[in-house]
Amino acid sequence: MNPIILITGATRGIGFAAAGQLAARGAQVIIGSREKDRAVEAAKRLGSGVSAVALDITDVGSVKAAVAEIDKQFGRLDALANNSAILLDHYQSLLDLKPEVLLETLNTNVVGTLRVSQAFAPLLAKSNAPRIINVSSGAGQLDGEPQAWAPAYCISKTALNMLTQQLAAALPHVMVNSMCPGWCRTEMGGSDAPRSPGEGADTLTWLALEAPHDLRGKFLKDRAVIPW
Ligand code: NDP
**How sure is the predictor about 1, in pLDDT bands with cuts at 50, 70 and 90?**
confident
11 in contact with ligand 1, CB cutoff 6 A: yes
Question: For a pocket test of ligand 1, which of 11, 84, 158, 207 has the largest count of ligand atoms closer than 8 A to its C-beta?
Answer: 84
Number of domains in the chain: 1
**Least reliable range by pLDDT among 129-138, 145-154, 188-197:** 145-154
Q: What percent of the chain has pLDDT over 70?
A: 100
Domain assignment of residue 126, given as a range:
4-225
- CATH code of residue 22: 3.40.50.720
pLDDT tens digit string along 34-44? 999 999 999 99
**Least reliable range by pLDDT among 119-123, 145-149, 174-178:** 145-149
pTM over 0.95: yes
Determine the Cα–Cα distance for residues 167 and 30; give it in Å rounded to an integer: 22
8 in contact with ligand 1, CB cutoff 6 A: yes
Determine the Cα–Cα distance for residues 152 and 34; give it in Å rounded to an integer: 22
85 in contact with ligand 1, CB cutoff 6 A: yes
Q: What percent of the chain has pLDDT over 90?
A: 97
193 in contact with ligand 1, CB cutoff 6 A: yes
Bridge partners for 50 per DSSP: 29
Question: 89 with 16: CB under 8 angstroms?
Answer: no
pLDDT tens digit string along 5-41? 999 999 999 999 999 999 999 999 999 999 999 999 9
Taking CA 139 as the corner, what is the angle to CA 39 and CA 214, rounded to the nearest 5 degrees?
A: 75
Q: What is the pLDDT of residue 16?
A: 98
9 in contact with ligand 1, CB cutoff 6 A: yes
Look up residue 143 and give its amino acid. D
Question: For a pocket test of ligand 1, which of 83, 185, 207 has the largest count of ligand atoms closer than 8 A to its C-beta?
Answer: 83
Question: 115 with 60: CB under 8 angstroms?
Answer: yes
Residue nearest to atom 38 of ligand 1 (CA): 183
Mean pLDDT of the chain, nearest integer? 98
**How sure is the predictor about 124, in pLDDT bands with cuts at 50, 70 and 90?**
very high
The whole-number average pLDDT for the span 194-220 is 98
β-strands 79-82, 4-7: how paired?
parallel
141 in contact with ligand 1, CB cutoff 6 A: no
Residue nearest to atom 31 of ligand 1 (CA): 85
Quote the DSSP letter at residue 75.
S
Ligand 1 centroid to Cα of residue 124, in Å, is 23
Determine the Cα–Cα distance for residues 53 and 39; give it in Å rounded to an integer: 7
Q: What is the pLDDT of residue 215?
A: 98
Determine the Cα–Cα distance for residues 17 and 201; give it in Å rounded to an integer: 6
Q: What is the pLDDT of residue 23?
A: 98
pLDDT tens digit string along 68-107? 999 999 999 999 999 999 999 998 999 999 999 999 999 9
**How sure is the predictor about 147, in pLDDT bands with cuts at 50, 70 and 90?**
confident
Q: What is the pLDDT of residue 75?
A: 98
